[in-house]
Amino acid sequence: MKKLKLLLSVLCLMAMLGTANAQEQLATKIAEWERAKTYTKEYLDAMPESGYALKPTPEMRSFAEQMLHLTDANYGFTATATGEKAPVGFGEAEKIQDKSKANVTKEVMASYDYVIAALKKMTPKQLEEKVKFMNRFEMTKDMVFIKDFEHQTHHRGQTTVYLRLAGVKPPQEKLF
């Protein structure tokens, strides 16, 4: 009987530690999104108003369009993970007419706020649930957020070239 009680105590402790670890991982994920938001804001601030229409080549997106594309993904990926309707429909952000620095910055920051708020409402258990992404890929909700993080990092990174072409020094890398 003592061995059974001890075993149950150990299993209970392991479950509690696993939950604490999962909560810690979720808190880290939220902190990383907050860091990414700050870093992206530095990029938006660094580009002068005149550079928002800059395209490295005619067939490429402008700086504003790159940032709005990133915004579309933040909304679309997060809506997939949460199952909730995003405040901005997938693909709509990139089509907005007002591509001024102030408006693009407002739109991009709102998309980060949407992701962060969604993560704050989720539990580690919910992040383990599976969803169908882009009607093709079955993955966990956590993986959807990971893919979104990768996507926003990729497109923000592309805009480093835009800043250089505009004669602007990109913000210092913000890994931590």
pLDDT at position 175 over 90: no
Who contacts 173 (Cβ-Cβ below 8 Å, separation ≥6)?
A: none
The answer to whether residues 42 and 51 touch, using CB atoms and an 8 Å cutoff, is: no
Q: By residue range, what is the domain housing residue 75?
A: 29-165
- Strands of 23-129 (E only): list them: none
94 vs 2: CA distance, rounded Å: 64
pLDDT at 176: 79
Lowest mean pLDDT among 88-97, 102-111, 142-151: 88-97
> What CATH number should be reported for the domain holding residue 133?
1.20.120.450
Does some domain include residue 61?
A: yes
Does some domain include residue 153?
A: yes
pLDDT at position 129 over 70: yes
Reading the block at residue 124, the tokens are 């580690």
Does some domain include residue 75?
A: yes
DSSP code, position 52: G
Does some domain include residue 2?
A: no
Does some domain include residue 22?
A: no
Does some domain include residue 72?
A: yes
Q: What is the pLDDT of residues 53-100, one digit of tens each?
A: 999 999 999 999 999 999 999 999 999 999 999 999 888 999 999 999
pLDDT at position 13 over 50: no
Does some domain include residue 42?
A: yes
Does some domain include residue 176?
A: no
- Per-chain mean pLDDT for the chain: 90
Domain total in the chain: 1
The answer to whether residues 127 and 75 touch, using CB atoms and an 8 Å cutoff, is: no
Element (H, E) at 137: strand 137-140
